[in-house]
């Protein structure tokens, strides 16, 4: 499960005294594109406005045509800086200037992308010096089953390596590498056993691949390709305006073949929705943290999970399954009489458990101690099912037996 704080092995304390263990702020050059962007930004300013960096600002010198001011300036000239002087001053402060450039010009304004990339390096909490030191060692974050490692080049550019969290220790040469975030559409399509993944946030992302060196925008695109809309919803939640649609309103909205689902809510409690959530929304089935409940007033009794990103309404997989259950649950219970040995009863329970927990492939062919072992199941069928497949020879519909 994703850890919302940076890896303690790579994070650095915010400020405080420097110890010998603490990584140093890396040597950073000021690339010409960052400097040009500062000049452009200054060009757009009114004479008394400033471009603000961490701890200092620059602007036009109102008293000298074509000159610049730097404030506060320390030992530098405060006013009347030539372009060359300004470059020298900014080059001395290259980490803070390249940090401004990275977020203001490369990442841009779009809320989810900006918030996500700033969250990765705690840009709203830690100083540039602290972050650049941490980035030089690599900052690791988890997002679902993704492991994202952020670093910084000697020109202050962010680079992101993304791979499966379970491939953390695998040499990159042993992984299939990609540089186009849209390649991930193929990665997410099938699980490790080649089965289609209808739910992108199911914890069944296959391993064996890496995007070793993405820029900020591509890193965001990759995360949104693997887990669509999760960043947008996480961002809304952080801003305090996640629009949650609970079970009742979601089912009332359905039409066509799904219109029947609202009839499953009969004003007799919400136990059936507890079962749905336990079946479909548990962390073992989906990495989203369920925030929707039965309705605004009525919480479900099952846990919503620990995911970093929220689930704001029942998804299409839940809606489709709910349609099936609405039909099945409209049936009345009947009493059937079978004879089972105690072990046979337990075996039926073991078979259901094995299917529900997705353990079928783990049960070895000759492991007849397991109730859900194939030979055990075939033996049970040979012994207890009649030619029509009826358990204990008892027809499902009593009329069929007459």
Number of residues that bind another protein (CB under 8 A): 28
For residues 238 and 308, the answer to whether their CB atoms sit within 8 Å is no
The answer to the question of residue 224 lying near another protein (CB under 8 A) is yes
Q: How far is the CB of 255 from another protein (least distance, A)?
A: 6
The answer to the question of residue 336 lying near another protein (CB under 8 A) is no
| Extended strands (E) in 78-184 | 139-143, 146-152, 158-164, 176-177
Q: How far is the CB of 321 from another protein (least distance, A)?
A: 9
The answer to the question of residue 190 lying near another protein (CB under 8 A) is yes
The answer to the question of residue 110 lying near another protein (CB under 8 A) is yes
The sheet that has 139-143: what strands, in order across it? 139-143, 146-152, 158-164, 209-214, 176-177
Alpha carbon separation from 227 to 216, 230, 231, 308, 328 (Å, rounded)? 17, 6, 8, 12, 32
Q: Which is nearer to another protein, 75 or 241 (CB)?
A: 241
d(CA 91, CA 70): 13
Residue from 112, 156, 305, 310 touching another protein (CB under 8 A): that is 112
Residue from 19, 21, 66, 196 touching another protein (CB under 8 A): that is 196
The answer to the question of residue 358 lying near another protein (CB under 8 A) is no
Q: Could you tell me the two tokens for 65?
A: 């045509």
Q: Which is nearer to another protein, 232 or 377 (CB)?
A: 232
The answer to the question of residue 322 lying near another protein (CB under 8 A) is no
For residues 177 and 264, the answer to whether their CB atoms sit within 8 Å is no
Residue from 15, 55, 198, 269 touching another protein (CB under 8 A): that is 198
Q: How far is the CB of 324 from another protein (least distance, A)?
A: 12
Determine the interface stretch with another protein among 94-102, 160-168, 311-319, 326-334 (rule: CB under 8 A): 311-319
- 102: closest CA among 110, 92, 114? 114
Number of other residues whose CB lies within 10 A of the CB of residue 21 = 6
3-state secondary structure 327-390: HHCCCCCCCCCCCCCHHHHHHHHHHHHHHHCCCHHHCCCCCCCCCCCHHHHHHHHHHHECCCCC
- 227: closest CA among 332, 144, 294? 144
**Residues 247-276, mask of contacts with another protein (x by CB under 8 A):** ------x-xx--------------------
User: What secondary structure letter does DSSP report for 195?
Assistant: -
For residues 381 and 374, the answer to whether their CB atoms sit within 8 Å is no
The answer to the question of residue 192 lying near another protein (CB under 8 A) is no
* Residue in this structure with the two tokens 């790579």, named with its chain if needed: 10
The answer to the question of residue 189 lying near another protein (CB under 8 A) is yes
The answer to the question of residue 129 lying near another protein (CB under 8 A) is no
The answer to the question of residue 232 lying near another protein (CB under 8 A) is yes
Residue from 24, 168, 182, 356 touching another protein (CB under 8 A): that is 182
Binding site for another protein (CB under 8 A): 110, 112-113, 182, 185, 189-190, 196, 198-201, 224, 228-229, 232-233, 236, 243, 253, 255-256, 312-313, 315-317, 320
């Amino acid at each position: 499960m994703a850890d919302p704080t940076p890896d303690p092995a790579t994070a650095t304390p915010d400020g405080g005294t420097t110890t010998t263990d603490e990584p140093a702020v890396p040597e950073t050059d000021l690339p010409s594109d960052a400097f040009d962007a500062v000049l452009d930004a200054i060009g757009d300013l009114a004479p008394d406005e400033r471009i603000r960096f961490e701890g200092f600002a620059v602007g036009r010198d109102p008293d000298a045509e074509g000159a610049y001011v730097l404030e506060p300036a320390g030992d530098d000239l405060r006013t009347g800086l030539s372009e060359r002087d300004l470059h020298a001053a900014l080059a001395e402060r290259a980490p803070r200037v390249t940090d401004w450039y990275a977020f203001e010009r490369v990442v841009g304004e779009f809320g989810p992308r900006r918030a996500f990339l700033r969250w990765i390096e705690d840009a709203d909490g830690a100083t540039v010096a602290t972050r650049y030191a941490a980035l030089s060692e690599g900052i690791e974050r988890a997002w679902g089953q993704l492991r994202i490692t952020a670093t910084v080049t000697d020109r202050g550019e962010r680079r992101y390596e993304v791979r499966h969290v379970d491939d953390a220790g695998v040499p990159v040469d042993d992984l299939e590498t990609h540089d186009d975030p849209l390649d991930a559409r193929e990665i997410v399509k099938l699980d490790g056993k080649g089965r289609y993944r209808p739910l992108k946030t199911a914890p069944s992302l296959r391993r064996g691949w890496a995007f070793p060196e993405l820029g900020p925008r591509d890193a965001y695109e990759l995360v949104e390709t693997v887990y669509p809309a999760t960043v947008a919803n996480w961002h809304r939640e952080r801003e305090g305006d996640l629009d949650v649609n609970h079970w009742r309103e979601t089912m009332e909205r359905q039409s066509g073949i799904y219109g029947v689902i609202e009839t499953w809510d009969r004003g007799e409690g919400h136990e059936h929705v507890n079962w749905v959530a336990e079946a479909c929304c548990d962390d073992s089935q989906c990495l989203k943290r369920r925030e929707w409940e039965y309705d605004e007033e009525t919480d479900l009794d099952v846990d919503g999970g620990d995911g970093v990103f929220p689930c704001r309404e029942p998804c299409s997989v839940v809606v489709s399954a709910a349609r099936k259950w609405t039909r099945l649950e409209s049936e009345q219970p009947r009493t059937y009489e079978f004879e089972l040995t105690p072990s046979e009863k337990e075996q039926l329970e073991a078979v259901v458990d094995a299917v529900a927990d997705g353990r079928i492939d783990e049960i070895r062919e000759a492991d007849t101690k397991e109730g859900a072992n194939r030979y055990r199941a075939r033996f049970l069928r040979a012994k207890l099912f009649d030619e029509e497949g009826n358990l204990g020879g008892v027809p499902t519909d009593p009329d069929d037996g007459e």
